[in-house]
Structures are given as C-alpha cells and as structure tokens.
A and B are shown apart, each in its own frame.
Chain A
Amino acid sequence: MRALETILTEKGYVDPKALDAIIEAYETRIGPHNGAKAVAKAWVDPAYRQALLADATKAVGSLGFASRVGDHLVAVENTPQQHNMIVCTLCSCYPWEVLGLPPTWYKSAPYRSRTVIDPRGVLKDFGVTLPAETEIRVWDSTAETRFIVLPMRPAGTEGWSEDKLAELVTRDSMIGTGLPKAPGAAS
C-alpha cells in the first residue's frame, strides 16, 4: 500500500495531505452521529419528520454536515406493522454521508447473501427478534439511491431533548439490524 502511494505521489496523481484529510474526516466528522441527529429531530418535530420522509436529501442537507449528502437519499420509516432493513447484495452501497463508513459485517458475504432471503435469521445474529406478524421490508440498494431507516421512538422518552434522544439512536437501528437503545440502557 505504501509502495502504491509512493508511486502515485511521485507521479503527481495524489496529494498525501489530501489523503490525510480524507482519513481524518471519516475518523472524526462523518459517522452515524449525523444520521442520529436527523432521526432524533424527526422524533420531536412532526414537520421535520414529514420533510425527511418526503425528501431525505433536502431534509438531511439542511442540517449542514461536513459531507454533503448525495442527491438520492431516501428515509424509510419503521412502524409497528413494518420493519425496514437495508442491504446491498451486489457490492456495499451504504449511506456514507449520514452513517459513515460501512461496518465490516455490512460488506460481508453472510449479510449480503442472507438478508434478502432470511432477514429474520439475520436479525437473530444481532440478537433482535420481531413479532411474527411484523412485516419485514428489505431494500436492496442496487442503484445510487441510498436508504436510511427511521426507527420507532422508544417508549418512555416523552419530553426528552433532541440531543438526549440522539444518544439512543444506534447505527444498526438506522440500517434495520438493530433497534434504538431503551431509555436507561447502558451505552
């Protein structure tokens, strides 16, 4: 890897300082805390929730994150009737701008192969069991459309601030392989 970077730098194709800055951005600024902020805002602000579901690109864009959201972000809402899960069976498409780098498991063969045929089995691997009557909807990210799950707000959080709610929103809850933390749960 160092040899390739040496060649590319010597040939003037990359600026090592630019590479440092890209790494720094993904290590610090671009991560699931961005998506969590949008989710928490949707939980407390019905107008924002509507805006997010109508046009997530615009609604998330208005929050001013470091990495501008691509044009094709779609938020899908969990309800007591329907649970959403996001996958990319063909490669590893993932909403980087709102969730950061995809976790290794998201890019792995087990997740990419099984989610479309046995999502309840995949959920079990994450320790999640949903009622049998809950419909599961799997979104295969086969185009440049990117999806983020708007999970259900946990009970017992009435009156909580956006910041406090955002701490309950896990990365996995925005992919659909997890649920938000319960209030009072250890982080």
Chain B
Amino acid sequence: MNGIHDMGGMEGFGPVKPEPNEPPFHSAWEGRALAMNRALGYAKIWNIDKSRAKIEEMPPHDYLTKTYYEKWAQRLEQLLVEYGYIGEDEVKAGHSLRPGKPVPRFLPAADVNKALSRGSYSREPTGPARFKAGDRVRTRNIHPHTHTRLPRYARDKAGVVECVRGFHVFPDSVAIGQGENPQWLYTVLFDARELWGDAADPKLKISIEAWDPYLEPA
C-alpha cells in the first residue's frame, strides 16, 4: 500500500540525530515489548510480512508520532486480537478472562537462543531465474493496496540486475494469506539520476532487493 511507511526520498523530517552511547532500551518496558514480539514471532501464529503490514496499516499520524516500541506493542496487541488469541475485553480488563488457546510453537526459557536466530527465507527453486547479473530491467508501475516491498521511489525505473540472491518467500503473497509463493530475488542497481532527475549526485547509486514479479525486461 502507498503508506506513510514508504519514506524513501521524502524530505522535511529534519536532520538525523545520533544519540551518543545509546542504551539498548530507553526504559524497561521497551525490552518487554521487544521480547514479547520476539517470543510470539517464534510462535508462528503469523509471519514477518504480516506483522510488517500491520504496522503499515497504522494511521499516518500514529505512525509518525508513536515511538518504535509503542508501535511494536500496539501491533502485537492487534495481531493477537485479530488471530483470536486475546479479546478486546481482556485488553480492557488488563488480565485474562478465559483460558488461552494452544500456541503453535511455545518458547520456553531454555530455547531462547532459537528465537534469537533468524530463519531462512530461501526455498527450493522451481525453475531457472528469468534474469542474470548485467541484465537491464525496468521495475513495474504497481500500486497494490496490500503489503509490498517495492518502494514507491523505485517504481517504473530502469536499472541493472547486479546479483541473483536466490529464490525467496514473496512478501506480497505471504502477508495476505496467499502462501509463500517463492520468487527469484535480485539486487537491482539504479543511477541516482534515474530516480531523482538530472540534478541528482552523479556519484550516487542506489540498490533495492527486488523479487521477479516487480521486474520486466528493458
């Protein structure tokens, strides 16, 4: 969806503000929010793209004003309600009002290292890749109303395939319950002038990771 999360190339947000010696968490609840998200991500009730989509669906005002972990906490609550693991009445009450339902994969303390490791998103290819390194491609002019990982600034742009990354789970499908639908994934390189016009820095290049359905031959 053409949401507020798709920020590449926007201006007006001000300078980047690095924080010297930033602690891992600015308050204890942030750690709890992160850990709960991790533990329930491990539970396999939903997938990573579904959870990204949930944050993207936030109203732009909330997206821009809530902190990172506030968004994570809200997303977690909404997903648990959506999948029927908790009720709105329980959120309101602040405690459980009925027994839980079984979690596909519970995370006991002894297995925490497993939750700290990323899974693999590559799958067994079902055919050869359509493009190879060096091929000229054009990104498609698509505007799906659901989750996609093709940023707006890189749509309908000419680029070059730099690298074939593998055969990966396709976010646009898996985020909306249409299965993993794996596709070839490429690194596609653009000259800044193709993205930002003739006045752009001639010594700047930008790449995205693009799945096959985002591309057509050029």
Q: What is the interface of chain A, defined by CB distance below 8 A to chain B? A: 1-8, 10-15, 17-23, 25-27, 30-31, 66-72, 87, 89-92, 96-97, 100-101, 103-105, 107-117, 119-120, 122, 125-126, 132-145, 172, 177
**Cβ contact of B38, chosen from A22, A89, A110, A126, cutoff 8 A:** A22
Residues of B close to A68: CB separation below 8 A: 113, 116-118
What is the interface size of chain B, counting residues whose CB is below 8 A from a CB of the partner? 88
- Residues of chain B within 8 A (CB-CB) of A140 are 8, 151, 154, 206-209
**A89 CA / B150 CA spacing, docked (Å):** 10
Residues in B neighbouring A119, C-beta threshold 8 A:
204
Q: How far is the CB of B139 from chain A (nearest CB, A)?
A: 11
B19 within 8 A of A: yes
Closest to A146 in B: B118
Q: Across the interface, do B209 and A13 meet the contact criterion of CB distance under 8 Å?
A: no
Contact with A along B85-104 (1 / 0, CB 8 A): 11000110011100110010
Residue of A10, A18, A67 contacting most chain B CB atoms (<10 Å): A18
Contact, CB under 8 Å: A125 / B15: yes
Question: In the assembled complex, which residues on chain B have CB atoms less than 8 Å from the CB atom of A96?
Answer: 118
Count A-B contacts at CB 8 Å. Answer: 261
Query: What are 20 A-B pairs at a CB distance below 8 A?
Result: A2-B29, A4-B91, A6-B94, A8-B40, A13-B100, A18-B107, A18-B109, A19-B36, A68-B113, A69-B118, A71-B118, A89-B8, A113-B8, A117-B11, A117-B196, A132-B203, A135-B204, A140-B209, A144-B118, A144-B121
- Which of B7, B113, B115, B200 lies in contact with A89, CB distance below 8 A? B7
Nearest CB of B to A156, in Å = 25
Contact: A15 with B120, CB < 8 Å? no
Q: How far is the CB of A31 from chain B (nearest CB, A)?
A: 8
Chain A residues within an 8 Å CB radius of B7: 89-90, 109, 112-113
